[in-house]
Chain A
Amino acid sequence: MIRLENVTFTYMDDDFPAVDDVTLHIEEGSFVVLIGHNGSGKSTLARLLNALLIPTHGDVWVDNMNTKEEDNIWEIRKKVGMVFQNPDNQLVSTVVEEEVAFGPENLGVEPEQIEERITKSLEQVGMSSYRKHPPHMLSGGQKQRIAIAGVLAMEPRMIVFDESTAMLDPQGRKEVLETIKALKKKDMTILLITHFMEEAVFADRVLVMDDGKIVMDGSPKEIFSRTEELHSYQMEFPEVIDLANTLRSAGMNLTTDILERDQLVTELCRLL
């Protein structure tokens, strides 16, 4: 789906690159979570994936289209959609359906087809009954789901979520995560950038960035077993894993497979 080859990006006036010689392949249909401390280069990397930024050195390929070629830009942005952090900064229309139609209209999609796309996208995010509502009256989680529907209406193959759950209340976060999981089931390629470690356990693959480089790359189980290393990049552990590790080191015979809450509860029920 996406290949980065020796990609470096330096912002104008900066002495050091924000992304430093990254080579990475993201497979079609995979669910990748990207973590790293503030300033480690995550958002810059995300913006290189759909030509919002063009590498200073190296190449980014989206389905064999180089993001450097200006002719490819619209095709690439159609394929790789982005959802950002603040729901209030992303919505521009006064009615939900117009908001969702914004992308495909700009792509020149036929009106009948746009109707179909609106219906389908709103269905996918569970917001069909809000079609005629004004977006500013919705909750944070609902606004983010409308932003996702707007991206889905462009029929992308991949969606990048840049801390899209950071500003939401517990209910809103839950709604957006459920939506992301449902998209994963439909084989959407997903890159989720987050500071919430517990969101990383659902991924097929976890990437850790530090100083513009990808410093760790593996399954959630592998990544969260490398305790010292993860700490050295200023990352923390999801509390469920923290509890499991604490119990294990105190002598309880827990399997090393525990990532999620239900796994821990099942294990503890067996032992207690």
Chain B
Amino acid sequence: MSITLKKVSHEYNPGTTFATFALKNLSLHIEDGEAVGIIGPTGSGKSTLLQHINGLLRPTEGELEVEGIHISREKQNLSELRKRVGLVFQYPEYQLFEETVEKDIAFGPTNLGLPPEEVDKRVQNAMERMGLDYASLHDRSPFEISGGQKRRVAIAGVLAMDPKVLMLDEPTAGLDPLGRRQLMETLRSLHREQKITLIVISHSMEEIAFLCERVLLLKDGELQLDKRVEEAFEDVAFMEENGMDVPVISRVMHELRQAGKPFVRNYSSVQEAAKAILKAAGHA
């Protein structure tokens, strides 16, 4: 199973003077088990794209095939799709509402009509996958735990639906430095160790470099770039022209290369860059 978009467009207010394209003629293919980052300026269509992939929005032109389910402008029942593709909105903790963490995470699977034992299993499993300790947290109120934990509970609620694809819209926005790093590590292990397909929107190029193997750049609803992460962040000028940036470490490497230093690549992580620099300096 995989995700394929064929010439997908989404037009708001078609036929009026306010007509605007949120997505324009988008074609792309995402394989099972990929980790894809979506970047682009505010209003470039990133969230709209995610909403198409789990069927919250239908294309006004073109079609999608997601996990074997065909989506076009025709109305259809997409409940099966929503089980397979989980979408975590921005600031998802605002949507927590139950009395306990456990009940909140159980909400989705209970609505699927699963037997109670299966729901329990799913809740425990989702909490474990999000690094939440079941014993100490399951009967706490979701409003009395830390901001980072709330966010994890909200994501666990989506994981409890057991999706094959997990999509997150700016998952670390507003978290503090430690909360951000811990969540990044959890998401990376979900992808690497449990092979979940990951699609992540972020304004932080460092996070994209840390989590993803491939990056899509959207601007004005159009796909401007679709490359391997390391290749994408080599082209500093292109990223800047499109209102984006590169990870700060990539920029250090880029500037060293510009100064004629012998580096073949713009490594984006501290560890990789340190290794390359130490080697060049004869320290390794």
Contacts and interface: CB of A to CB of B under 8 A. Distances in A.
Contacts of A170: 203, 205, 243-245
Interface string A197-213: 11000000000000000
B237 to A, nearest CB: 14
Nearest to A238: B248
A139 B245 contact: no
Interface residues of B, number: 41
A223 B204 CA distance: 24
A108 interface: no
A36 B274 CA distance: 28
Contact of B270 (A140, A198, A243): A243
Interface string B251-269: 1100110010100000000
A139 B243 CA distance: 11
Contacts of B68: none
A85 B177 CA distance: 17
A38 B179 contact: yes
B203 A169 contact: yes
A238 B177 CA distance: 10
B98 to A, nearest CB: 22
Contact of B41 (A139, A238, A250): A139
B281 A37 contact: no
Given A38-B147, A38-B148, A265-B252, A272 B270 contact: no
Contacts of A174: 245
Nearest to A171: B243
B62 to A, nearest CB: 26
A265 B251 CA distance: 10
B42 A38 contact: no
A136 to B, nearest CB: 11
A238 B43 CA distance: 28
A198 B248 contact: yes
A265 B147 contact: no
B175 A195 contact: yes
Nearest to B245: A170
B176 A261 contact: no
B252 A236 contact: no
Contacts of B205: 170
Nearest to B177: A236
B75 interface: no
B245 A172 contact: no
Contacts of B252: 240, 243, 261, 264-265, 268
Interface of A: 36-39, 85, 139-140, 163, 166-174, 195, 197-198, 234-236, 238-240, 242-243, 246-247, 250-252, 261, 264-265, 268-269, 271-272
